[in-house]
Amino acid sequence: MSSKEKKSKTRKVLKIILITFFLLLLVVFFGINSYVEGIVKNKIDTQINKNPNSLYHISYEDLDINILTGSLSIKNVLIKPSDSAKQMVDSGMLRSIVKTHVELFKVKRLKIFDFIAYKNVDISKVIVENTRIEYLINQDVVPMASLWEKPEKKKKTTTDKLFPNVLNRVSIDDFEFINATFLLLNYQQTEEYLFEIDPLSIVVKDVYMDSSTIANPIPLNFSDIDINTKYFALKSMKYYSISTSGIGFDVDDFTLTLNQFKLVPKYSKDEYNKQIKYNNDWFSISTEKVVLNGLSLSEIEKSESIDLNSVIVYNPNIEIYRDKRLPDAPFKKKKLITSMVKSIPLNIVIDTLKVLDGKLVYEEMLDLSDKPGKVFFDPLFLTAYNVTNDSSLIAKNAHLQIDLKGKIMGKSQLHANLDFYLNRNDDYFVAKGNLEAISAVEFNPMVESLMLAKIESGDVRSVAFNFTATDDVSHGELKLIYENMKVEVLKQKDPEKKSGIISVLANELIHSHNLPEDKKFQTGIIHFERRKDRAIVNFLWNSVKTGIISTVAPIADKNHKAEKKEQKETKKEKRKAKKSDRISDK
């Protein structure tokens, strides 16, 4: 046999060996894949599905494992409660169960040999796509412990047992939760949701968990988290929906950002009034973003309180409408600021709350006109300090301060300060404020509809008020400096026409000017007994209004009338006393 033939035969043998070895590797590879897949399927079947103590049953359509690339893929995963779980909820032993469907679950680049050798789970990426989570809660069952109650002794959980016995650590570079729907449902009536988020996407970077992290309130560490959702709603908010264009959380400075946060009505103003049947505020709120600074979840768990450095609301646009042609709702007391803050069920501390460059529009409809009265602030800035119900902090600083600045009717700067005494039980507060010069004509959008009158002229130089108030009543003074005030009374059936004679009488009854250099300069008296089914804005406005009326038209002021009546009664008593003295002298 020639050397060429020997070489050719050797090559053929080598080819056969290589092909055989490659085929063997393929057999081994696919055999190992099949073996591992078999183990996973067997574990799911024996440990979960056939376990009589298991609360859930897991099914799926396709499980694919690739040992070489360290990848895993599962399609159409369905996790549903077992019959025993449902029985436990029915009997009250469990308060809630979960039903989940995942279209696709992927694991990319799992380091298999690190797991075998060192019990480390190192994964490049985990992707969970198109998930529907239904969290069913039995509202008739009282939870054994509140979220804010710490158990006397922490019980060992499944996670505690994993580390370090089964695993040394879990590290995931990227975790993506894409296009999920979350529903909180009433267990007894699953067609009614209590809370809904749809769609929800979450991206978490550098997830890490080991035996040291699981001891923390949040049992894992991560470098960044980005949460996006377009819609979420509460059943209790029957007439409104809430939405954001995105939610982000910065773990470095504990900042939660809600982008384009909106609370919008589901119905038009007219349709809303038909639904509620009582006069009540219809409102719409949209913002550029809301930022919560210093939100530490671990601190919430440790101190059982929400402690924030600041809450900042950027560029809010707030529209409020009330139709007072409808009857009043059945009486329900509305709390003032101090009582409202104290009634929050957990401790809350907000160092600073800010509203930046906002706009507030308030409209009110009466029978007098076919169009609503309107007042607005643009721009509007608000800052609140020391918002807390923590008794230890209140002992050190009992003042919740609100500072408000805004251009009323977009023309004149209003500056007001409200000082709420958190250490008092009668909702005591002090209100101070001043308004810069403005033409009284600017208030016609409100006056024409609400008072069926029109301000023909009037120059307001300044307004300053100062009053104290409790849950019952307000007392104080208002200095309104103005001149050249003239009004026209409008006809109710035809507001475009003026009531000439009545207008003349009206101008006789009001003071055309109120200047400090005049001997008859009038300081308005603020005195208003609060309607306790109305909110604080109503209380503040009506308090200030009594001071305005007692200055401009004291004859129409209830307090002025009562004072005149009291003076008349006093004079009458004095006359009687003198008459009695004369008779006795005789």
Q: What distance in Å separates the CA atoms of residue 381 and residue 357, rounded to the nearest whole number? A: 6
Helices 536-552, 558-585: crossing angle, 10 deg rounding: 60
- Contact between 324 and 368 under an 8 Å Cβ cutoff? The reply is no
Q: What is the 3-state secondary structure (H, E, C) of 252-287?
A: CCCEEEEECCEEEECCCHHHHHHHHCCCCCEEEEEC
CA distances from 270 to 277, 279, 369, 408 (A): 11, 11, 16, 27
β-strands 169-186, 96-110 pairing: unpaired
**Do you know the residue count of the chain?**
586
Q: How many whole angstroms separate alpha carbon 428 and alpha carbon 430?
A: 7
Q: Beta partners for 135? A: 98, 184
Q: What is the mean pLDDT of residues 503-532?
A: 90
Residue 334: band (very low, low, confident or very high) from pLDDT cuts 50, 70, 90: very high
**Banded pLDDT at 18 (limits 50, 70, 90):** low
Query: 39 falls in which pLDDT band (50, 70, 90)?
Result: low
Q: What is the pLDDT of residue 21?
A: 47
Q: What is the structure's pLDDT at 411?
A: 95
Is the predicted pLDDT of residue 255 greater than 50, yes or no?
yes
Q: What is the pLDDT of residue 125?
A: 94
Residue 245 pLDDT > 90, yes or no?
Answer: no
- What are the pLDDT digits (tens) for 431-443? 999 999 999 999 9
Higher per-residue pLDDT: 156 or 205: 205
Contacts of 24 (CB under 8 A, 6+ apart): none
pTM: 0.73
376 with 358: CB under 8 angstroms?
A: no
In the structure, what pLDDT confidence band is assigned to residue 26 with cuts at 50, 70 and 90? very low
- C-alpha triplet 484, 515, 486: angle, nearest 5°: 20
**Whole-number Å distance between alpha carbons of 40 and 48:** 11
Helix (H) / strand (E) containing 492: none
With CA atoms as reference, report the closest residue to 550 among 462, 478, 470, 463: 478
Task: Please give the residue that has the higher pLDDT: either 326 or 9.
Answer: 326
Asked whether 339 and 402 are in contact (CB, 8 A), the reply is no
pLDDT tens for each residue of 443-454 = 999 888 877 788
Average of per-residue pLDDT across 195-201: 81
CA distance 406 to 379: 5
Res. 152 pLDDT band, cuts 50 70 90: very low
Environment class of 340 (CB within 10 Å of its CB; exposed 0-12, middle 13-18, buried 19+): middle
Residues in contact with 11: Cβ distance below 8 Å, sequence separation at least 6, in sequence order: none
pLDDT per position as a tens digit, 346-369: 889 999 999 999 999 999 998 878
Which residue in 196, 200, 201 sits closest to 175, CA to CA?
201
Q: What is the pLDDT of residue 150?
A: 41
pLDDT tens for each residue of 396-425: 999 999 999 999 999 999 999 999 999 999
Tell the burial category of 131 from Cβ atoms under 10 Å away from its Cβ (0-12, 13-18, 19+). buried
Strands 429-435 and 412-421: antiparallel
- Residue 456: its H or E element: strand 453-469
Please write down the long-range contacts of 326-330, taking CB distance under 8 Å and 24 or more positions apart. 326/273, 326/276, 326/277, 326/278, 326/279, 326/280, 327/277, 327/278, 327/279, 328/278, 328/279, 328/533, 329/276, 329/278, 329/279, 329/280, 329/533, 330/278
Burial 309-329 (b: 16+ CB within 10 A, else e): bebbbbebbbbebbbeeeeee
Closest alpha carbon to 75 in 65, 67, 83 = 65
In sequence order, which ranges of 494-557 are alpha helices (DSSP H)?
A: 500-509, 536-552
Higher pLDDT, 159 or 228: 228
- The predicted pLDDT at position 468 comes to 98
Q: Which two tokens stand for residue 576?
A: 């009687």
Full DSSP string of 370-437: SS-EEEEEEEEEEEEEEEE--HHHHHH--EEEEEEEEEETTTEEEEEEEEEETT-SS--EEEEEEE--
**Closest C-alpha to 121, from 73, 166, 64:** 166
Q: CA nearest 316: which of 341, 283, 349, 282? A: 283
Mean pLDDT of the region 330-343: 94
CB atoms under 10 Å from CB of 350, counted, come to 21
Q: Which two tokens stand for residue 404?
A: 């408000």
* Dihedral angle of Cα 536, 539, 540, 545, to the nearest 10 degrees: 160
> Among 89-98, 476-485, 552-561, 575-584, where is mean pLDDT lowest?
575-584
Give the highest mean pLDDT range of 102-116, 390-404, 488-502: 390-404
The confidence band for 167, taking pLDDT boundaries of 50, 70 and 90, is confident
Centroid of chain to Cα 212? 34
Asked if 433 and 414 touch (Cβ cutoff 8 Å), the reply is: yes
Provide the mean pLDDT of the chain.
81
pLDDT band at 544 (very low <50, low <70, confident <90, very high): very high
Q: For residue 147, what pLDDT is reported?
A: 36
Residue 510: exposed, middle, or buried by beta-carbon count in 10 A (0-12, 13-18, 19+)? Answer: middle
